[in-house]
């Protein structure tokens, strides 16, 4: 083990594990398997993949070869070396230094804040598909805002109670998406058999056109849809036997997730053209068209199951993000206020309150001056661009970590890391290119670039201010 070869690394790991001792180990192997499905199967990006049209199968296969498999191998390796609460944040901090670790945590925290901020937009859109009389909600900003306030408050409550209750909500959400996706995949097969749909070929191989738009769609569906394996490692201190079980959860779920993405995208394309897809609710849109007049009961049930999956995903992401300031507080990179645990539930309540307030502010800000689809795309792109920056550090660890840290990888893992790094870099660079119609492409691109660069500058300033304060205290 790397830590055994490096006394300073061993000491750092021991300190993190001592802080984790106060946490409850509620997550077993089955919980971790269902959590991986919940985190990696992101319904948002089915709509993105549909934008690729019939070439999506080639793009999915390329994405899995160049990104998904490398990610699975590297996360399993790093988790085996450093099974620590805080996951990628601690890996980057121990592999490089406190500053890089802090910025990784900062970008992960911003990602979740912005991703969970779409909770109101997603909920109102799904309700509009499930209940035709509520169709007005999807285009009403006050309805979106009310949903955001109520649901973010619920996320805070569930995160505060902890995984003794929260894991059952998360597991139910994972099962819900599996049921919904199974219905979606079966629908065109049944319709084709009964002659109500033209010939259906879910695995048709069509070469994609080499355009900037295709690259943008590829990078978004690759990184956005297939990232997430490392996130469960944030809860290593709350998992039973994390060094073994987190790696096993990756190996079990990876092939299932790959098949889900390919077949579900083909099913949506059977009913929705790339130009007409609703990027917020592609699955409800396809189910509505696929069942037609016979789906009065089935479609609303399937949509509510999918909504349950979304809310569970948001809950798990929200809980993970609240652990990052807690871990940074343990390492003296943030005030200890963020690390205080609830006396009964052993959850970081102050960090949860702070994250909830910031998430609500982001959901309100994104609705100002833009349409709902553009607001959704802005929040999703901002969030996943921050996530991409954190992933650059993840793939850099096998390639660039100093030898003195004792984190050694073989040639195969370094090649996998290089592939993942290049794909992630492509995603980050192309994130400013919209895949939907927006009022002003230049203004959209400027918003993306300004927020990402400005937020990272702010994160660096926060870190430096904390370091100066700590240096004065020591002096």
Say yes or no to pLDDT of 2 above 60. no
d(CA 31, CA 245): 10
Say yes or no to pLDDT of 351 above 90. yes
The number of domains in the chain is: 1
Please enumerate in sequence order all residues whose Cβ is within 8 A of that of 238, keeping only pairs 6 or more positions apart, or say none: 20, 23, 24, 25, 26, 27, 85, 163
Q: pLDDT digit string (tens) for 36-65?
A: 999 999 877 888 889 888 899 999 999 999
Q: pLDDT digit string (tens) for 15-44?
A: 767 777 778 888 999 999 999 999 999 877
- Whether 274 maps to a domain, the answer reads yes
Dig out the tokens for 228 from the structure: 């997430």
- Whether 290 maps to a domain, the answer reads yes
- Whether 473 maps to a domain, the answer reads no
- Whether 55 maps to a domain, the answer reads yes
Among residues 339, 335, 317, the alpha carbon closest in space to that of 326 is found at: 339
Q: pLDDT digit string (tens) for 443-472?
A: 777 878 888 899 999 999 999 988 887 777
Q: Using pLDDT thresholds of 50, 70 and 90, give the confidence band for residue 371.
A: low
| Structural domain span for residue 128 | 2-87+117-367
Say yes or no to pLDDT of 283 above 70. yes
Among residues 382, 390, 446, 53, the alpha carbon closest in space to that of 217 is found at: 53
The percent of residues in the chain predicted with pLDDT above 90, rounded, is 39
- Whether 408 maps to a domain, the answer reads no
- Whether 404 maps to a domain, the answer reads no
Most confident of 16-20, 114-118, 128-132, 376-380: 114-118
Q: What's the confidence (pLDDT) of residue 1?
A: 42
Say yes or no to pLDDT of 281 above 50. yes
Say yes or no to pLDDT of 372 above 80. no
- pLDDT, average across residues 423-447: 74
pTM assigned to the model: 0.85
Q: What's the confidence (pLDDT) of residue 4?
A: 44
- Whether 384 maps to a domain, the answer reads no
Query: What CATH number should be reported for the domain holding residue 293?
Result: 1.20.1740.10
């Amino acid at each position: 083990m790397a830590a055994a070869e490096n006394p300073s690394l061993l000491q750092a790991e021991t300190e993190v594990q001592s802080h984790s001792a106060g946490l409850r180990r509620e997550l077993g192997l089955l919980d971790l398997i269902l959590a991986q499905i919940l985190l990696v199967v992101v319904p948002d990006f089915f709509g993105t993949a549909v934008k690729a049209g019939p070439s999506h199968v080639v793009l999915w296969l390329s994405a899995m070869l160049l990104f998904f498999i490398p990610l699975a191998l590297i996360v399993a390796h790093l988790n085996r070396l450093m099974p620590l609460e805080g996951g990628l944040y601690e890996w980057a901090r121990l592999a490089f230094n406190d500053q890089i670790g802090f910025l990784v945590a900062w970008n992960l925290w911003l990602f979740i804040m912005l991703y969970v901020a779409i909770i109101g937009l997603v909920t109102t859109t799904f309700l509009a598909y499930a209940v035709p009389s509520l169709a007005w909600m999807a285009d009403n900003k006050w309805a979106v805002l009310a949903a955001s306030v109520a649901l973010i408050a619920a996320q805070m409550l569930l995160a505060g109670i902890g995984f003794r209750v929260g894991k059952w909500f998360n597991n139910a959400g994972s099962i819900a998406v599996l049921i919904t996706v199974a219905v979606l995949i079966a629908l065109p097969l049944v319709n084709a058999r009964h002659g109500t749909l033209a010939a259906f070929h879910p695995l048709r191989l069509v070469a994609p056109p080499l355009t900037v738009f295709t690259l943008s769609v590829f990078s978004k569906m690759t990184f956005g849809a297939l990232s997430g394996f490392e996130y469960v490692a944030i809860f290593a201190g709350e998992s039973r036997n994390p060094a073994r079980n987190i790696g096993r959860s990756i190996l079990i779920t990876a092939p299932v997730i790959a098949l889900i993405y390919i077949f579900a995208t083909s099913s949506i394309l059977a009913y929705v053209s790339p130009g007409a897809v609703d990027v917020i609710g592609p699955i409800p849109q396809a189910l509505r068209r696929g069942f037609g007049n016979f789906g009065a009961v089935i479609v609303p049930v399937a949509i509510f199951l999918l909504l349950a999956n979304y809310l569970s995903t948001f809950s798990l992401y929200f809980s993970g993000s609240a652990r990052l300031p807690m871990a940074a507080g343990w390492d003296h990179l943030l005030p200890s206020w963020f690390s205080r645990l609830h006396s009964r539930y052993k959850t970081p309540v102050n960090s949860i309150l702070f994250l909830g307030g910031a998430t609500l502010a982001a959901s309100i800000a994104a609705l100002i001056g833009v349409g709902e689809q553009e607001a959704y795309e802005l929040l999703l792109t901002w969030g996943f661009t921050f996530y991409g920056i954190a992933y650059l550090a993840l793939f850099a660890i096998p390639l660039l970590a100093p030898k003195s840290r004792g984190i050694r990888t073989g040639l195969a893992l370094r090649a996998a890391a290089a592939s993942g790094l290049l794909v992630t870099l492509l995603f980050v660079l192309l994130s400013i290119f919209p895949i939907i119609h927006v009022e002003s492409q230049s203004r959209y691109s400027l918003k993306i670039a300004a927020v990402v660069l400005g937020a990272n500058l702010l994160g660096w300033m926060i870190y430096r201010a904390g370091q100066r304060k700590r240096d004065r205290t020591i002096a």
